[in-house]
A and B are shown apart, each in its own frame.
Chain A
């Protein structure tokens, strides 16, 4: 089972890639969200703070407001943010739950696809 430290490392790496990718920055321009990542197995929550298209913080708690929530086992979250797991496949299989608008769902999926293409 993946640890909290592994998840934090995966999130830091993902944030760096997203912030350093011109296509992602352009796509997320003026988009600001608090994305809650709920580890279904450990009960921990991390918040990815996105401000004007850049990841500006990774907070080890549920920071309000909860704009988007992604719920999955820690292993799944780590695999997703490392590009080893396809989020849509995990979502369709029921191993990942997404709560948020359909557009935000598509937007995040596009980000993952661009970064790990």
Chain B
């Protein structure tokens, strides 16, 4: 592979992996550990990773056939029509809100630990740190500050190496096992794999880059490579965390990943994990907030969301109205999480939505192969229709796995409400908005 193309591939892999690694992902690993223990957590993460690689191939086929910045919305529209496409896009926004609220809560908790060591900041309420971190990212995004591609790449690889390094240090430390061997059950393993889906959320957000790719095969190769990097990093990190820190302590803490650092190397280890957490939040949250606000902006410009969401800041040229609206909703959710401490709810909600979308994407590939067999496909998802169908079915099972007990009932309730509202909105509102804009009778 020539050097230039190798460098570009590395940048794409870093982008995809960087979007997925988040502080809330580091915390979600505890949900993976709970049903299966440290002995089998790596396998649940790996199985979810294999399925995500198959999902990445599906995305790769669709991105090659439709190299557009529209991404999932275009793929679903081509396969199933505009109503379902808009429903899915709105559910992606719900996913972003849920993941954003979880990330704000957890990063705010990390800040509370970090600054809690400063005497005059030790008693600042957690809600202040959560609001401060969300506000910081809002202002950064309104200002239009984006990490340069090279900086993003360096930060992502630094983070991945640090996660793997911490895990290796844990294994080498000779630390006695923190909990007894876990009895493995099939339902527990399926649930652990379902929770693991959250760890990979975001790798497919690089599909809008398809139209910039000089080689159409770059993207279908980069996404599975990124999933592989995530599987290795998260698999090792999760196992290390479960081996060193008692599960009860991990479950009780909003910052369980910091406990690993502390257990391994005291204050120094704590600061290493704080740094990893900060990198994880910066590389995922910043890009995520701006990315989703642009989706909301685009929908408002297209006429499927209220027009005020298309307002642009005329100095920074950023979609400030969409950003402020997303921020407001995330703030409400994040504050609710602070006072209920139910941070697993948004995490599991995001995992459920993502699993459903991956299942739908598999269905879209199969449908388009039937309805548009002559479409140019530079890349075809390997394994044939059967493999794609199995991928879709597996993600459907994993989606259910995120909803059944011991998942809180709030996850199912919020998912059902979100789906119903999104579908009803997609079905009935855009025609009314378009009629209003054209001045016709409603």
Contact = CB atoms under 8 A, between A and B. Distances in A.
Nearest to A96: B68
A86 B144 contact: no
Nearest to A94: B68
B37 interface: no
A49 B52 CA distance: 45
A6 B294 CA distance: 32
B308 to A, nearest CB: 13
A42 interface: no
A90 to B, nearest CB: 9
A88 B298 CA distance: 6
Interface string A84-117: 0010110111100111001110110110010000
A79 B298 CA distance: 18
Interface in B76-126: 77
B69 A91 contact: yes
Contacts of B211: 97, 99
A92 B303 CA distance: 12
B67 A109 contact: no
Contact of B70 (A86, A92, A107): A92
Contacts of A92: 68-70, 73-74, 298, 302
Contact of A106 (B66, B74, B302, B317): B317
B232 interface: no
A88 B302 contact: yes
B41 interface: no
A7 B305 CA distance: 31
A86 B314 CA distance: 20
Q: Which of A89, A98, A99, A106 is packed against the most chain B CB atoms within 10 Å?
A: A106
Interface string B296-327: 00100111000000101010111100000000
A93 B68 contact: yes
9 contacts: A89-B301, A89-B302, A92-B70, A92-B73, A93-B77, A102-B146, A106-B318, A107-B317, A113-B301
Q: Name the 4 nearest CB pairs between A and B, nearest first.
A: A94-B68, A88-B301, A92-B70, A106-B317
Interface of B: 66-70, 73-74, 77, 144, 146, 211-212, 294, 298, 301-303, 310, 312, 314, 316-319
Given A91-B70, A92-B74, 10 more contacts: A88-B301, A91-B69, A91-B298, A92-B68, A92-B302, A93-B77, A97-B67, A99-B211, A103-B144, A106-B318
